[in-house]
Chain A
Amino acid sequence: MIETEELAGGVTRVTLTGKLDIAGANTIDLPFIVVMGSKRAVIVDLSRVSFVASMGLRTLIMGAKTVASKKGRMVLLSPTADVEDVLLTSGTNTLIPVLHDLDAAMAAVTA
């Protein structure tokens, strides 16, 4: 599931919920890319995502590329420990900043 919320300063928080396995990534791919295509300062809240594998990473990286192509910024917020382990092991955190604090995330996407 994907929910969007407009925060102060033109920042959008996109909250994903559930498993980003093959089935989950297939479900959110299109709506996620549509949102990313229309925003320039995006916080992707992963606190309700219980699982990410390579298909989910692909979704996140596609989104980040879309935002970056418009000179925008995207960060990942508050992944669970298991999900963060996958983000670090895959090196995704070197491409998309991973933060655990909303204020820091707001600052990172509006810098």
Chain B
Amino acid sequence: LPTRSSLDIPYSEAALAGVGPFVEQFAAGAGLRAQVSYALQLCLEEATANAVRHGAPAGGGSLPPVLLELRAEAGRVVATIRDHGLAFDPLRAPAPVSPATVADAVPGGLGIHLMRQFCRDIAYEREGDTNLLTLSFPA
């Protein structure tokens, strides 16, 4: 069974759309339960979308692709997302505000909240010019 896999994600919407299928294929190959596969796809789509959509400095510039690595170990799956974009610690992001009615709702802004709820552990480090986000899941 494949227990390690990685994906380069250039800074484009088209590349982001490939994250879900990549993670789903890894989960199927590693024999993960459907619920774990769902949580992995959800968290990694949110994490990589944040990095790609919000991580590039103003004015653009050419950043190397975001690197997503997955590995299945005894009893857990660990995902790392490494990028060279703007420093951003999702653990310090404010909780989303709950609107009173749908008319008050501002679509979006739920990704980090969902990511934190659907993984088992999450850690952020800034190493030099690199954001390193590590998420773990029960296998």
Contact = CB atoms under 8 A, between A and B. Distances in A.
Contacts of A54: 46, 49, 108, 110-111, 114
A23 B20 contact: yes
Given A54-B110, A90-B113, A90-B114, A95 B45 contact: no
A96 B20 contact: no
Interface stretch (A8-16, A39-47, A56-64): A56-64
B1 interface: no
B42 interface: yes
Contacts of A89: 113-114, 117-118
B107 A91 contact: no
Chain A at the B interface: SS class: helix
A31 B61 CA distance: 34
B105 A95 contact: yes
27 contacts: A21-B17, A21-B45, A22-B16, A22-B45, A22-B49, A23-B20, A26-B13, A53-B41, A53-B114, A54-B49, A54-B108, A54-B114, A57-B107, A57-B110, A58-B107, A58-B108, A61-B105, A62-B107, A64-B102, A64-B105, A65-B103, A65-B107, A68-B101, A68-B102, A82-B35, A90-B113, A94-B98
Interface of A: 19, 21-23, 26, 51, 53-55, 57-58, 61-62, 64-65, 68-69, 82, 86, 89-91, 94-96
Q: List the 4 shortest-distance A-B pairs measured between CB atoms, nearest first.
A: A23-B17, A54-B111, A21-B20, A58-B107
